[in-house]
Amino acid sequence: MLAKFIFFAKNIVMMEVLSGNEAIAHALLENNVRFASAYPGTPSSEILTTALKIKAKYNLNAYIEWSINEKVALEEALSASFACIDSAFFCKQVGLNVALDPLISAALTGTNAAFLVVVADDPGPYSSQTEQDSRFLAFFAKIPVFDPSDIKEAYNFTKKALDLSRQYQLPVMLRTTTRISHGRQNIYIKEKIEDIELNANFEKNPSRFAATPKLRYILHKKLNEKLSSIALKNTLKFDFSGKDLIISSGLVYSNLYELILEHHLEDKVTLAKADMPYPLPNIDLKSFDRAIAVEETYPLIELQLNTQGRRNNLVPKEGELVITTLTREGLPLIRYRTKDITKIISRNKCDCGRTHLRVSRLKGRTDDMLKVKGVNFYPSQIEQILLQYKTIGPYYQIVLENSKGKDEITIILEKINGFSAELKNRLENALYDLLGFHCILQVVPENTIQRTPGKMVRVIDKRKK
């Protein structure tokens, strides 16, 4: 790999294009982590495989392994930290559920060295069964959590998290998401990682590591004192100078920053960034007209600072519409899944007498979701773009094929009078903005697409199942 070498105060660093997972692995071993364990699962898997390569490259005295499950992996790394070895544990978001029991206990007992819990969330989701927010589990377990907004921060926050863990003898979480884990960026890393002498040492302390309930109460009190101290040193970073405040963290912050610049809102919106979304101190927000938390995916900042956001539907929620009876007024107690994707607009009673929820127009259905090149989308989202142009007919087809191991999507649409090459370019750009990859547009004369009685066949999937 082509690398650029730079000298900083006698330390040689080199620039490499790394994914977020690769950057985290480099940062861990550069900062003396010598025990790492994990259970594989996208989007976190490459952290451990990269760490193994680095260990072999520099012949480091380190123990790095795949464990039989996440609970075992966390307990192994935690035990190493009890023995004064800087350690780390990696998993995807649903894997943390398996390891939650020892994690909560570890917050109380503390550690004797750095102990970093790296969890990769999957908003979307793209390769998971849930969109759960691991920041909430850090809040639940009472451990600090860092939330990087790009790959460079993932690298830098790894060091910060390890330093914080050493200082307070407390597990610390580094939470990433799929786009951080799998995105790539130029990162300056150390040209060589020096090995260190390991002096494993565990001193028995029954009142701490085998604490009875009465002693656990004392440990809990000490944990609260640590969190209060950390919160007092935790500050928000502010950008722009508007009267409306938006608070965010992680990749959402990066997206918001770009949107504010794109729409020239610098004098209307102030954007605040929380590098460590938990624990947060009490912050006076009265100088702003309103404060809104925009987060991915749960309202962690919103709950701590009591801002607007998901709880008052200012930040919209959407998902599958499920009809159920939550009281005994209707029997039987069932949950009917409509499979329609929508969101709640209002819960207020209407002047006309309507008392049921008001929902938006349906976005699509859970059973017609398509996945191409790792991106989930609905045919109705493409239809929404196509119907904006009057020179495109209402009939279209989406053809999915697999060529040489790669998915390809072709959109066949009918042109009517006035369709131009310029319009085709605009359409291609709009579809790229939606999907994040290029589609093949096949423009055919009107009435070319076969009409069928009943429901129109919109999607033709020729990929092998």
CB 82 within 8 A of CB 57: no
**Averaged over 194-217, what is the pLDDT?**
92
Reported as a single tens digit per residue, the pLDDT across 429-465 is 888 888 888 899 999 988 888 887 766 788 888 887 6
Q: pLDDT at position 323, please?
A: 62
**Averaged over 11-19, what is the pLDDT?**
86
- Map tokens 């943390």 to a residue: 96
CATH number at residue 187: 3.40.50.970
CATH number at residue 448: 3.30.300.30
Domain boundary among 199, 233, 267: 233
Among 12-16, 24-28, 135-139, 238-242, the minimum mean pLDDT is found in 12-16
Judgement on whether residues 386 and 326 belong to the same structural domain of the protein: no
**Averaged over 222-250, what is the pLDDT?**
96
Distance CA 84, CA 168 (A): 14
Assign 359 a pLDDT band (cuts: 50, 70, 90).
confident
Judgement on whether residues 296 and 391 belong to the same structural domain of the protein: no
Does some domain include residue 311? no
Judgement on whether residues 283 and 326 belong to the same structural domain of the protein: no
Angle, CA 184 vertex, CA 66 and CA 15 arms, to 5°: 100
Radius of gyration of the CA atoms of the chain, in A:
26
What is the three-class DSSP state of 248? strand
Judgement on whether residues 61 and 195 belong to the same structural domain of the protein: yes
Domain boundary among 210, 233, 256: 233
Domain boundary among 272, 305, 338: 305
Judgement on whether residues 43 and 74 belong to the same structural domain of the protein: yes
Name which residue leads in pLDDT, 320 or 314. 314
Judgement on whether residues 247 and 111 belong to the same structural domain of the protein: no
Judgement on whether residues 104 and 44 belong to the same structural domain of the protein: yes
Domain range spanning residue 40?
Answer: 4-233
Does some domain include residue 296? yes
Judgement on whether residues 123 and 201 belong to the same structural domain of the protein: yes
H/E stretch holding 364: strand 364-365
Judgement on whether residues 271 and 374 belong to the same structural domain of the protein: no
Does some domain include residue 207? yes
Does some domain include residue 71? yes
Judgement on whether residues 145 and 37 belong to the same structural domain of the protein: yes
The maximal CA–CA distance of the chain, rounded, in angstroms, is 83
CATH number at residue 279: 3.40.50
Does some domain include residue 125? yes
Evaluate the CA torsion angle 313, 319, 322, 325 in order and state its sign. negative
Reported as a single tens digit per residue, the pLDDT across 80-103 is 999 999 999 999 999 999 999 999
Residue 137 has pLDDT above 70, yes or no: yes
**Averaged over 185-197, what is the pLDDT?**
92
Judgement on whether residues 223 and 248 belong to the same structural domain of the protein: no
Judgement on whether residues 172 and 59 belong to the same structural domain of the protein: yes
Does some domain include residue 310? no
**Number of domains comprising the chain:** 4
Q: pLDDT at position 2, please?
A: 44
Does some domain include residue 331? yes
